[in-house]
Structure 1
Amino acid sequence: MKNILFLHAGAEMYGADKVLLDLIKRLDKTKYNPIVILPTAGILVDALEKEKVEVMVIPYPIMRRKYFNPKGLIEYGVNLVKYTHQLVNIAKKKNIDLIHSNTAATLEGGFVSRKLNIPHLWSIHEIIVNPKIMYRVTCKLIAKYSSITITDSHAVKNHLDASGCFKPNKIKVIYNGVDSERFNPNNDCTYLYEEWNIPKNSRIIGMMGRVNSWKGQDDFLKAANIVMAKYPDVYTVFIGAAFEGEEWREKDLADKIACSPYSDRIITKGYRTDSEGIYKLYDVFVLPSINPDPFPTVVLEAMSTGKPIVGYKHGGICEMVKEEYNGLLCEVKNPDDLANKIEKILIDEDERKLMGENSRKRLLSNFSIESYVDNYTNEYRRLLREERDE
């Protein structure tokens, strides 16, 4: 049995957290023993412990915007050295055979693997646009300190390749998958109509995602106001919370919603654990990320639940949505076009139903959880075989 050390950037339950959990849950435990170290406590820790996976919480630093200043960089550097040394000692004690770092914000794995001369698989789920110096530095580190770099979409791969830091064949694409049994068209959502005071005959448009500077909540609100002005039976739902320390973003969104003439038909909630029912509630799932979204898991989950998708035409969503088949893509940062595409699907019930069915088909054919786990397992096997042959 081979010991794999997993390092990740948090302990919440958003996209990168979910796909990591799904991978670890489904590993062949007769061949691979996962050991997970996370920088904070949280629901991901609880979920892993429920699966009887060994988890440790060690507050190693995660590269966030709060460090993008002289004082922050010094603090980050000091902690990076301190906790990398601690992780090296743990890796020795646990006889780690391979390190899997999940997200570009987790730099420690590269240094630990180099120190111990063991393979390092680095999964990248980000498209870093700004600041550009962080894009360059991160790409150089990933290229230098990973045995293989795995991206979750061609959009991410192309973004890394454009840096000029990577050798040919050092980046591979493995699409994420979601549990199609958990997210399915038969999930129950009836309780939400009562909880949120939504009439049963309403049509509902909604998004789900982190409240941050680029997920597009503001653009969705503008588009939703246009649609709701035409159709009194349309309700709009926002699901998601901000990073810790950025709660002001949630208040800012709430203030903008309060100013809408249709605020009585807008529901906004923070993080929820019943996403299965929420996807089922939606008639159209919307994700208008204003920066390229690498490969949004929420879109896969909505597809698996049998929902048509509307989003901006850039990033990984272009690999998930086949236009006119399971959704529509819009001009980036154009809320008017977003509203038009939402309306186009919303008003045609037959087309909406067909697109939803096609979303489910496309998910099962291209983004299954089984192929996702198999592809990662094949990379583990290859890296460990190469290490043995050396």
Structure 2
Amino acid sequence: MRERIVGAFVLLALGILVVFSVARAYSLNDVVTAAEDRKLERSVVLLAELVAARESAGAPVDAAYLSRHLNDAERIDYVAADGTEVTATAADYRTADQESDLSESALVDGGGEVTLRRSEFLVDERVSNALTPIVVLGMLLVVVSAGLAYAAAVLLARPFQQLAGYAVELGRGRFDLGIPRYDVPEADTIGRALEQSAGQLHDLVQREREFASNVSHQLRTPITALRLELEDLSLWPETPRPVADELTRSLAQVDRLQATVTDLLDLARARRIGRSEDIDMAQVVRGTVERWRPAAGTRDIALAVAGEVHAHQAPGPVEQVLDVLVDNALRHGRGTVTVALLEENHHVDIRVSDQGRDRPRDEVFHRNVGSAGQGLGIGLTVAAEIAEALGGRLTLADAPCTTFLFQLPRGTDSRSQN
């Protein structure tokens, strides 16, 4: 913005200078030409009288005599009464065409004629000398206008720079902006819009926090009650042993459900999720695959994991993302579901793919709650947000089959560094 304002001021000043200089040049040319004509007319009349007086005194009128009366860039042509021609030329007299020179003639008493010429280059030089101060003054005005334009640009741009800073603060979650009022109507309009947006976002965040607190209370209480009932049933003496073992395994799933609710609420409240620790990603992936094998039914789940892959991450949220991806593949994919773990230099790639040839669009990550048969829920959306909170990302891989790529940074894993 500042560069544009300065450029506009400079171009405006240059335009005014050019227009004024051209108009002034034409005006000065006419003024100087008229002044030189008047001086030339007086000079030739005086020269004719001097020549007449010299002839009356019987002295010769030769080139030496005429040269004494020459001024800069002049030429004198004298034709005597008997037809004799005498010419005297100044040393700096030059012309491209004598017809373009200034010329005046006068008759000499007793016969004869004197013609005085002044070179056109002398007129051009005097016009140029008269224009030089104007051009210098114009350039000085251009410099001054550039300085004033820069100062004005700084003053005009400062409110918008401050508003940009307030916008950044708003993006970071600060809603008490306290934007001052400026003397620029456009800046004040933007400031009021930012304040209005900050108020709306504050209300929205406040409602979300209240909702998270309510959900936290409403979900944790029944989950805790369910866990206690399952635990009592597993310890009940009349419960058959196989059923008690199954109930014990179900308790682990209830604990996972409770941890998932806690992590999701933390994510919604403060963008923090889980506690990072050094984990074996291969073990986490294997556990997820084995957990989903009973739900797969006749579908096959293949696992491609080579050795141990360590990373510094929160295991619970990683499992949540994998659960969403495997569940999505089993529900909407085709053929064998493959979960592959690849170890890179600074990150870990987990690919979950099936044999479906219809590559989904990126809209699957958007919040679009649809019917149960359409698969347009918020599972993938939440999974993408969890991946981002973990410092990674969840994307669609460029592959012939439907493939989701879950990338995670390895973090400060001590084992990988030693």
TM-score above 0.5, yes or no: no
The TM-score bracket by the shorter chain reads: under 0.3
Higher RCO by CA contacts (8 Å cutoff, separation 6 or greater):
1
What is the TM-score normalised by the length of structure 2?
Answer: 0.19
More helix by percentage: 2
Greater C-alpha radius of gyration: 2
